[in-house]
Structure formats: structure tokens, C-alpha cells
Structure 1
Amino acid sequence: MASEAKRPKIDDECCVFDPLKNFLCWCDRVNLNLSDKVYLSKEGTVAMYGMLAKEDIEEGHVVFSIPRDALLHQGTTKIKKVLEDGKKSLESGSGWVPLLLTLLYEYTCPQSSWKPYLSLWPDFKVLDHPMFWSEEERDKLLQGTGIPEAVDTDLKKLQAEYNNIVLPFIKSHPDLWDPEKHNLELYKSLVAFVMAYSFQEPVEDEEEEKEPNPPMMVPMADMLNHVSKHNANLEYTPECLKMVAVRRIEKGEEVFNTYGQMANWQLLHMYGFAEPFPTNSNDTADIQMSSVYKAAMQETQSEADQQLIKYKWNMLCEMEILGDKGVFIFGQSGALTYNELHTTLKVLCMSAQELKEFCENEGWEEDEEDEDDKMEQALSFDKLTASSSEWKHLLHVAAGFTLDSYSEDVDTDRRLLEDQGALEKLSSRERRALHVRYGQKNILQRLQELTKPTS
């Protein structure tokens, strides 16, 4: 059974000039229970603030618990009635607008109940998502990773959301917001803040089609850094949220939470950091679906062959297996989107007669319950060499197209990673981008090696 955390013992006379001390005093006031086996620090952590173990921590120990009324979201803010009354006009694709309006108000309100918490980020300069990089820097350092395209989409949606939903709403409530103060730049910073530090409570019954819970800020939980091999996890109860050790944590070890199974490109895009290669066991690389189509077209010998490939591609798109902007995802052990990839390879490599039979049967009859397992195994890196030469050729060529999309080749990045002196000369952005690029290229290169033609 998880042991309970205790109230932190804090001197009442907190130094207002020390944001961390002020925050810990606030934690005491709101009944946030912090274990006496941990402490917060900027030293000895992987980034900014972090939590370290003062002594050995056993699995199941509650590192801290926070009551639900100390969480920051549209249901706990002073302006919750205004947000509730305007709920219909605040609907957006992101679903974040109510929380962002909450933060716009609370962050700039001197009397905010969450001021000691929000003061830990005095100007958001610690946030260094690629959305804050110049377009030239993103293109130079992150070409081929998928991040520049994701950021461009984010920025367009963010600006449209602010101009079309947020700005009209704050103009209609001049007693709460000021467009000069609560401008697009602050909104952009708060979007990054929500991306990096918010939490979403899981839907209780995942089988039922329910709207996802809106994001919320969880003080103290966002002080923990992330690694894929984490040692603590956030648990949700009706009364409070608890950070619980999921394995033994040694004295002096950092306490790490998890943001989920995140590839490095997702971590950099959404949180502003990346795990150094090769520590991220959840790293992935994408191959555009269109690259597999391009590889298949490259093998055609006649106009009739080209028309057949086009027909197959259009059929797969109609079946909603493929899409012009879709991707096949590969992880450390092989294809993760194995259902889509398996069907695509099978159809693209069919003869005209096989395709005719496939269409007449309206697809395949899945006789075996373990069909998914078979597809996953067939496209795992352990089994890929046993695939047909046609399948391997398509994957080999498509992986090559993807590797060619990066600004630097894989060997250049490898040499840079292996040269400690050169690595230390890189800026923080250059290092993070390198770990993202090389992690992806490493997976793609392994795919190419496993699918290269045998002599």
C-alpha cells in the first residue's frame, strides 16, 4: 500500500525574493503534502527545477499529494463563472481556450491565489520550444524530422484561435483582460506553457466514446522532469492527485515522471527538450506513405504498370488505410503502424489477378484471431529479413527517400555525436536537434540494412 506524504516543514517567514521558497510556503498553505524524503533543486537535475531523493525511496511511496482545489484550471479560477457563461463561444479545435484564458488572467493578476506557483516562470524564457526558434533555424536544424511542418501548423492555428475566439472574448470583458497586456505574444508563451507543463486526467472508461478531459495545471507535478525509464507516476483519486514511486529510488537519484511514450521529436516539439541519444527507448521515425508509393512507381516498367499502382493506391486511400499526408511509424523494434503497412505492402505487390480476387472478395477474410500478432511480428526488425524481396525493396527505397530528406547525412551526425569536443561547442538548440535527427536516422538506417538486397 502506498505510504502517505507528510506536510512540508517550512519556515513561515518565507523570503519573497526566493521563488522556490515562496512556492513551498504556498504548498504548505494549500495542504500539498510533500514527502520529507525528497527536495526540489536546480542543481543535480537534468533541466531547470527537479526533484531529488534525500534518502532511499521504496516502491509505492507517495512522493507528494495535492488536493484537487489547489489544481489550476477553469473550474478553480475566480473567473470560472465568466468562462462557464461563455462556454459556447470558447469552443475550439484545441479545447485549450478556457485554460488559456484562466492563465492569462491568473498570471497577470497580482492577487492571484496561484501567484507563488506561477512566479516560478517569471517570463517563460526557460521555454524553448521550436515555435520560438526562427523559421530559418527550424529548417536548418530540424529538416526532415517533421517538426518544422508541425510548428507551422501550430502557429497558424494558434494565431487564428487568438484572433477569432480569444481576442473578441477578452474585449467583451475589459474588467478582466486588456488586449494590450494579454496579447498574442503572451498567449503564445502560455500555449507553450500548457504544452510543456499541463496534465490531462485519463477518461475513466476508455471504451466509451467520451470527450477527453480538458488540460489542467498541477503544481509540483510539473517540477518533475521526464525520462522514458521513469521512476514515478501520477495517480488520480477523487480527493487528490498523487505522485507515486513505481520502483525503488536511490538516495541522490532524480525523481522522474513520465509524459507518456514520447519520441524525441514529440518531446522537442511539445516540451522543448529531447533525451540524449540513445536513451529514449520510445524514439520513432516516420516514413511518409507517399514515399512507399513513390518507391512502387519507381519499379514500374510500363504505362499499364503505372496505372495499376495508381489504382491500388487510390483503393487503399478509399479504404482509409492510406492518406497523402499519412506516415508509417517505426520504433526501436520495428513497424508500429503494422496493420496499415502490412496491407499496403501486400496490395502494392499483388499481381493484377491477385488484385482482382482481392476486390471480388472485398478484402481478406481474417480467419485467425491472432492476425494482428502475425502482422506485428512479420514487420518487426527481428523478422523483417524473412519478408519477400518485393516488400523489402519497397521499404529499403522508401527509407532511402526519407534519409535523403534530412539536411545532413547520417554519418555526419554520427561523427558529431562521437566527438565530445565538437558536441560541447554546439548550442543547446543544436544539441537537441542533433539527438532528434540522429535518433530517427538510426532507426531508418537499421531498416535499410535489414531490407538491403542480398547478393
Structure 2
Amino acid sequence: MASRAKRPKVESAETPGNPEQEMEEALDRFLDWCRQSGLELSSKVYVSKEGTVADYGLVAKDEIEEGELLFSIPRSALLSQHTTTIRDLLKKEEAALESQSGWVPLLLSMMFEITSTDSRWKPYLSLWPGISTLHHPMFWSEEERNRLLLGTGVALAVEKDLLNIEEEYNSIVLPFMKLHPNTFDPHKHTLDLYKKLVAFIMAYSFQEPLEDDEDDDDEDEDKTPNPPMMVPMADILNHVANHNANLEFTPECLKMVSIRKISKGEEIFNTYGQLANWQLLHMYGFTEPYPSNTHEAMDIRMQMMYDAALQAVRTEQERKLLMEKWEFLTQLEIVGEEGEFVIGQSGVLTEEELYSTLKVLSMSMEEFEEYKANDGWEEDEDEDDDLSSLANAVIPKLKPAWKQLLRNTVIMRLKSYSSGLKEEEATLANETTYRRLSKRERDSLQVRYAQKMILHRLLQLTE
């Protein structure tokens, strides 16, 4: 990682005494707990605050080859709904704890364990002196989110999160706690604590991938994801797109394995997935400085392309034809009210959806009537086959009408931001000005800038 591209560890609101000494003691207790719990750490790595991008990280003590085991964690040391002290209660009430998120059992486990003085996981949880300082945008003021993140998609995602969290707490968690007053206390296990633990789990938990089954490929979308779990030691590793280690799951344990050669003194990085900066900020509270994030991408609402096409309409007949085309695309489930076109650094990621939308919206009335009569099928699509990838190299070769519609949509999307690209380029180019920004301002700037770079590249490609 080139610079501060890590979810920051939570900080204590009040840390009496010597903070550095207390953190060292907490780390020693955690490492002792790891050994007692059967966690095996390679002699070639060590946990440190020195030589890492921020707070704790894992550093190579010696040169490491590709495929080496860095540490292994027995499943008994994981903190989940299946290992918590209250696992029997959660299992008994399993039906009552079902939710859209699927996180309620782990959240209840965390609420219980983090407030229990004799929790088995206390040395692990003590690595986080408190959860009063989290960097997720859900803890920013609404005014700050709207001002710094307008147009990025983050503010809208956070608004949905907050509504869902409150609904989940009031409709599922609070009634459950009232039924079990000997285990939970609503005055201690509050909505505020619940919200912080949601962000905590978003930033630090892991989900085991579903098992691959060649016979069930068509049913993968219907499978219920595995519930999240807390993985000691693994959550110390920082994220970067160009990572050098990967977490592997086996029936007995979880293993962190190097995926390339790692030099002595180099920090060891895991990955949280192929996530754009807006997703990293939303879920983890940090960003990767441009252009470090090779998974950078941004969204354009499908409805925005309809609005852009509507602006070019000159007659009532054209307006009715456009509405009919959009309705037909909706019936084919190519577009939707909540749908989005996803654009990455190398081109369009939702290729089929955007290609079909550009084609249909650019058709003449005669072409559309024939297309509709065939239920969206064409006898000869050879001419389009070479273009349907919508990679950056292909976009300049699109038909003029398609390029114009795409260009108009991009221009409309750029207007959704409160600032322009040149303004942000100037801020990034001036190191003194950039350093004066708060962390929230810097992270927001990185999100906006990366998205606008993708949009401006599209403008150049559609000229």
C-alpha cells in the first residue's frame, strides 16, 4: 500500500495513564491468548505498530516465499453465534432472530461479550480500547455527509443503513432482550451500541464463502450467505487492492497464506474484496489514495440514462416512443428503478445491460417495432458482437447516436457532484492544502476524484 489505505482501529475516548504502554500490554495479553487458544503464528511474522500504514499490522520478520503459512486459527477461537457464551440461547431462539441482514445473532453475541467482564474473548476485544470513535460515514452528521459525499452514492447507502439498523433493533433485538432480562439489559445494550457494533462488524468481520458445487451453479444466487464471524489476528491485517496474502478456509481452521514473495520488513496485506473507494469508505471507513485502488468503479443510475434521452426529445411522438422503449427494457429486466450501470477503470462492468439500453433507446420506430416483435431477439447480431464488450478501447467505435446518449448521461452524472474535477485536482496537487484537510475531507475527496476520473475518461472516449 502506497499510503494510508487502511480501516483505522477504533480509539478510546478517554485513555488514562500511559496510552502507549497500555496498548503494548493489551497486545501482549492478546498474543498470550492466541497461543492459549491454539492460534499458530509463523516465526517469520510479527504484530507491530511500527512499519505499518496505521495502528496494528502484520510485518515480515524474514523473507517469505509464495505459499507459506503465516498463521492458522482454530475454529474454536473464532467469535461467532456458534462459539459465544450465549450460543445455546441464540440457537433456541433462531427463528425469532431471522432478519434481512442475517447479522442479528452475531450482533447479540458481540453485545453480550463486549460488555461481559469475564468474556473468554476479553484479551481479543481489549485490542480495541473502545468503540466510541469509528470512521464510518454513518457516524458523520447528515450535513457533513451531504456536503462531502454528494453524488458519490455513499450518503444514500448510509441513509438506508441507518433506517435498517433502527428497524432491526426495534423490531427484533429489543423484543428479544426484553424476553431475556437475565442476559441483556436494554439500558446497557442500547441502539447506540448496536449501531457501533454494526459498523464494527462491517469493518472487522469475515464471511466464509459458499462451497462451490458445479451442479448448483444456477442456484448460487438463491443460496443464503454464511453469517459473519470475528477472526482474531486476521482482522489485524490491513487491506490493499494489490495484496500479498489471502485467508483460506478449511474444516478445522482458517489459514493466512502468502500469495507472492514478501520481503523482510514488508507489511503483509489481506484484501476485503474487489471494492471501489466509495465502498471502502462506506463499509470500512477508509480509502486508498488515487490511483492505488485497481478496483475503482462508480455507478450511474439507469434512470439517469432515460432522463438524458428525454432531454433530447423534441416531439410528443418521440416522447411516447421513448417511454415505450423504456417500458420494454423494464419488462425484459434489463433496466430497473433501483438499477445501476457500473463503470470501471477499463470500461463498463455491466456490459450487457448498458449495451442493450444504448441499442434500444437509439432505435428508430421501425427498428424498435421489429425488435419488440421478436421479444428482443435479432436474427443477425454479428455486426454488434465485436462491440458488445464496452471496454474503453471499444467505446469510441460505437455508433454516433449511442456515443451521444452515453455522453449526455455522463454529463448529467457529473452535475450531481457539488464540485468540479479541476478544483479537486488543485487540492490534491497542493500537499500543504491537502494535509490541512480532516480525515473525512481527505477520504471524501479521494472518493469523488476517483469517480470523476472515470467519468471524464468516458467523456474523452465519446467525443
- Distance verdict in 2 for CA 1:16–1:293, change over 3 Å: closer
Moved more, 182-191 or 289-298: 289-298
8 Å CA contact 1:292, 1:394 repeated in 2? yes
Within 1, Cα distance between the matches of 2:243 and 2:124? 24
Counterparts in 2 of 1:132-151, with a 5 A limit?
132-151=139-158
SS at match of 2:129: coil
- Distance verdict in 2 for CA 1:372–1:99, change over 3 Å: farther
Question: Which residue in the other structure is 2:5 paired with?
Answer: none
SS at match of 1:330: strand
Moved more, 35-44 or 82-91: 35-44
Question: Which residue in the other structure is 2:415 paired with?
Answer: 404
SS at match of 2:46: strand
Q: Deviations over 1:3-61 (max 9, x none)?
A: xxxxxxxxxxx989711111101001001001111111222212221111111111001
SS at match of 1:18: helix
Q: Deviations over 1:371-428 (max 9, x none)?
A: 988522xx11111111111111111111111111111111101111111111111111
- Distance verdict in 2 for CA 1:169–1:152, change over 3 Å: same
Q: CA RMSD in A?
A: 1.8
SS at match of 1:39: strand
- Distance verdict in 2 for CA 1:367–1:393, change over 3 Å: closer
1:329 alignment partner, one of 330, 334, 342: 342
Counterparts in 2 of 1:45-444, with a 5 A limit?
45-205=52-212, 207=217, 208-209=219-220, 210-365=223-378, 375-376=388-389, 379-444=390-455
Query: Is 1:21 aligned with 2:28?
Result: yes
2:419 aligned partner, one-letter code:
E
Within 2, Cα distance between the matches of 1:370 and 1:257? 43
Shift of 1:179: 0.5
Q: Unpaired segments of 5 or more residues in structure 2?
A: 1-20
Shift of 1:234: 0.3
Shift of 1:326: 1.6
SS at match of 2:334: coil
Within 2, Cα distance between the matches of 1:257 and 1:105? 29
- Distance verdict in 2 for CA 1:189–1:301, change over 3 Å: same
Moved more, 432-441 or 283-292: 283-292
- Distance verdict in 2 for CA 1:183–1:15, change over 3 Å: closer
2:435 aligned partner, one-letter code:
E
SS at match of 1:168: helix
Q: Deviations over 1:204-259 (max 9, x none)?
A: 02624421111111100000000000000000011100000000011111100011
8 Å CA contact 1:347, 1:355 repeated in 2? yes
Within 1, Cα distance between the matches of 2:282 and 2:428? 21
8 Å CA contact 1:39, 1:52 repeated in 2? yes
Question: Which residue in the other structure is 2:7 paired with?
Answer: none
1:275 aligned partner, one-letter code:
E
- Distance verdict in 2 for CA 1:15–1:296, change over 3 Å: closer
Q: Deviations over 1:72-128 (max 9, x none)?
A: 101111111100111111000000000000000111111111111111112124521
1:204 aligned partner, one-letter code:
E
8 Å CA contact 1:37, 1:53 repeated in 2? yes
8 Å CA contact 2:427, 2:434 repeated in 1? yes
1:256 aligned partner, one-letter code:
F
SS at match of 2:337: coil
- Distance verdict in 2 for CA 1:26–1:369, change over 3 Å: farther
1:412 aligned partner, one-letter code:
E
8 Å CA contact 1:15, 1:22 repeated in 2? no
Q: TM-score, normalised by structure 1?
A: 0.93
SS at match of 1:375: coil
Within 2, Cα distance between the matches of 1:319 and 1:121? 49
- Structure 1 consecutive aligned stretches of length 4 or more whose deviation exceeds 6 Å: 14-17, 366-373
Structure number with greater CO (CA < 8 Å, separation at least 6) is 2
SS at match of 1:21: helix
Moved more, 89-98 or 395-404: 395-404
SS at match of 2:47: strand
1:274 aligned partner, one-letter code:
T
8 Å CA contact 1:15, 1:21 repeated in 2? no
2:127 aligned partner, one-letter code:
L
Shift of 1:191: 0.2
Shift of 1:262: 0.3
Shift of 1:369: 11
Moved more, 73-82 or 15-24: 15-24
How many residues align structurally?
437
Within 1, Cα distance between the matches of 2:458 and 2:59? 39
Q: Deviations over 1:301-332 (max 9, x none)?
A: 21100110011111111211111232111000
Q: Deviations over 1:101-157 (max 9, x none)?
A: 000011111111111111111212452100011111111111000000000000000
1:395 aligned partner, one-letter code:
L
Within 2, Cα distance between the matches of 1:438 and 1:198? 28
8 Å CA contact 1:295, 1:394 repeated in 2? yes
| Percent identical | 56
1:90 aligned partner, one-letter code:
L
